[in-house]
Amino acid sequence: MVFLPAFYAALPPLPPTDWTQVYVSLQDGAPLAHPIFHTFPSIPTCWHPKRIDLLSPEIVKSVSLRVQLVRWQSRLAIIKFARFEFEISLAHSETVIYQEIDGEGIGPAFLGHLTENDRVIGFLMEYIEGRFAGIDDLAACQTIVRRPHALEIVHGDLNRYNFVIKPDGSAILIDFEYSSFDETKEEMEKELGGLADKLASETGSGDPIPRPMVAEEE
């Protein structure tokens, strides 16, 4: 195991020029830095007028590797972002879905695009107070799932952790990375038909904070 202070001490002097990546090699036993300027991808669909720098919201806590609870303009909000290039496509897909459902009361309000050095890497959304769903919330969850279906959108990843049950008992949907457009009636019926099993599941599938599976005591 290499501790960070020792790792940093082993690095060669980094160049003062603009660069986004540095490769380090050994030359005659000494480390040598090779800087390159790589243009990282950006989410191409930017429909909301607001832009928020990734570092401007105050982090309250991490929800998952790509999702954080933050404080922004004196209120709680959620940021979701791509850490690596391959995650940009997922963030783009979800951004497009939020454009389609904007104002429909299906998911949290989309508050703006999240940027890093002017490229768009995610988004900021409304924080909804509530809890995860269970089988007792089946009726409320069926009601909210039918709303994107009315727009010919299938959520694509229904599980009890992708619903937020609000204090009044109503539900909203979150996590639209795998949602798709122009789906058939059969696909919508299949998704709705499997909802009860998803809500009753105790496997932890979809849990943003994985927990160990512990056998119940007899």
Is 69 exposed, middle or buried (CB count within 10 Å of its CB: 0-12, 13-18, 19+)?
middle
Report yes or no on 38 lying in a domain: no
Out of 9-13, 15-19, 20-24, 164-168, the most confident range is: 164-168
Asked if 189 contacts 146 with a C-beta cutoff of 8 angstroms, the reply is no
If asked whether residues 92 and 121 sit together in one domain, one would say yes
- What CATH number is attached to the domain comprising 148? 1.10.510.10
Measured between its terminal Cα atoms, the distance across the chain in Å is 41
Q: Taking the alpha carbons of 138, 141, 143, 146 in that order, is the dihedral positive or negative?
A: negative
Q: How confident is the model at residue 211 (pLDDT cuts 50, 70, 90)?
A: very low
Q: How confident is the model at residue 206 (pLDDT cuts 50, 70, 90)?
A: low
pLDDT digits (tens, 9 = 90+) for 45-83: 999 999 999 999 999 999 989 999 999 999 999 999 999
In angstroms and rounded to an integer, the radius of gyration of the C-alpha atoms of the chain is 21
Q: Residues near 110 by Cβ (< 8 Å), separated by ≥ 6?
A: 48, 98, 99, 102, 123, 125, 126
The structure tokens listed for 35 are 């800087």
Q: How confident is the model at residue 15 (pLDDT cuts 50, 70, 90)?
A: confident
Section 198-211 average pLDDT: 72
Mean per-residue pLDDT over the chain, rounded: 90
Count of other CB atoms within 10 angstroms of residue 67: 17
If asked whether residues 121 and 151 sit together in one domain, one would say no
Q: What is the pTM of this model?
A: 0.82
Report yes or no on 71 lying in a domain: yes
The structure tokens listed for 137 are 């919330």
Report yes or no on 194 lying in a domain: yes
Q: How confident is the model at residue 158 (pLDDT cuts 50, 70, 90)?
A: very high
Asked if 115 contacts 154 with a C-beta cutoff of 8 angstroms, the reply is no
Number of domains in the chain: 2
- Residue that finishes a domain, picked among 93, 126, 159: 126
Pairwise pLDDT comparison (96 vs 201), residue with the higher score: 96
DSSP 28-39: TTEEEEEEE---
Q: How confident is the model at residue 138 (pLDDT cuts 50, 70, 90)?
A: very high
Rounded Cα–Cα distance for residues 52 and 163 (Å)? 26
Q: Taking the alpha carbons of 7, 10, 12, 13 in that order, is the dihedral positive or negative?
A: positive
What is the enclosing helix (H) or strand (E) of 10?
A: helix 4-10
Asked if 127 contacts 111 with a C-beta cutoff of 8 angstroms, the reply is no
Q: Which amino acid is at 173?
A: L
Place of tokens 């800087």: 35
Asked if 69 contacts 75 with a C-beta cutoff of 8 angstroms, the reply is no
Give the range of the structural domain holding residue 156, as residue numbers without chain letter.
Answer: 135-200
If asked whether residues 145 and 90 sit together in one domain, one would say no
> CA of 1: how far to CAs of 7, 12, 23, in Å?
10, 20, 21
Q: How confident is the model at residue 4 (pLDDT cuts 50, 70, 90)?
A: low
pLDDT digits (tens, 9 = 90+) for 99-117: 999 999 999 999 999 999 8
Task: Spell out the alpha helix ranges (H) of 44-193.
Answer: 88-101, 138-150, 185-193
